């Protein structure tokens, strides 16, 4: 049981660091931590708890479930922010293209030098 508690505690710690990374925008580090957390949780699948430890493990698992909900909410916020940034960039590019077309519509000038005597 001590191994299971150790894995659960490590998974909670890694999840908290992952949440901090998501909040600060460090997506690559959060992705690495998510893989680590997944590895720790998958190691729990082999464990069969003793009846007297079920309540304690349930409490830890509920904390882990709550943490997963927080991670999901933070990831959705980042997704929405990224989507808004992309929309804003697209509108800015469209605006700048409008300026470019108005500049090009001026009087065409010849690239060649004309000789006048």
* % of the chain beyond a pLDDT of 70: 88
pLDDT band at 104 (very low <50, low <70, confident <90, very high): low
Q: How confident is the model at residue 109 (pLDDT cuts 50, 70, 90)?
A: low
Distance CA 100, CA 91 (A): 14
Average pLDDT of the residues in 7-36: 92
Q: Which long-range contacts (CB under 8 A, 24 or more apart) does 21-24 make?
A: 22/71, 22/74, 22/75, 22/78, 23/74
pTM over 0.75: no
User: Residues 2-18: pLDDT tens digits?
Assistant: 677 888 899 999 999 99
Both tokens of 16, joined, read 């908290």
């Amino acid at each position: 049981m001590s191994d299971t508690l150790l894995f659960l505690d490590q998974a909670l710690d890694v999840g908290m660091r992952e949440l901090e990374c998501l909040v600060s925008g460090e997506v690559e580090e959060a992705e690495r931590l998510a893989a680590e957390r997944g590895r720790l949780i998958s190691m729990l699948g082999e464990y069969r708890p003793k009846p007297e430890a079920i309540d304690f493990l349930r409490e830890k698992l509920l904390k882990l479930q709550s943490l997963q909900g927080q991670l999901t909410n933070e990831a959705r916020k980042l997704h929405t922010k990224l989507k808004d940034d992309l929309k804003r960039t697209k509108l800015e590019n469209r605006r700048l293209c409008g300026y470019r077309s108005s500049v090009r519509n001026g009087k065409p000038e010849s690239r060649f030098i004309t000789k006048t005597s």
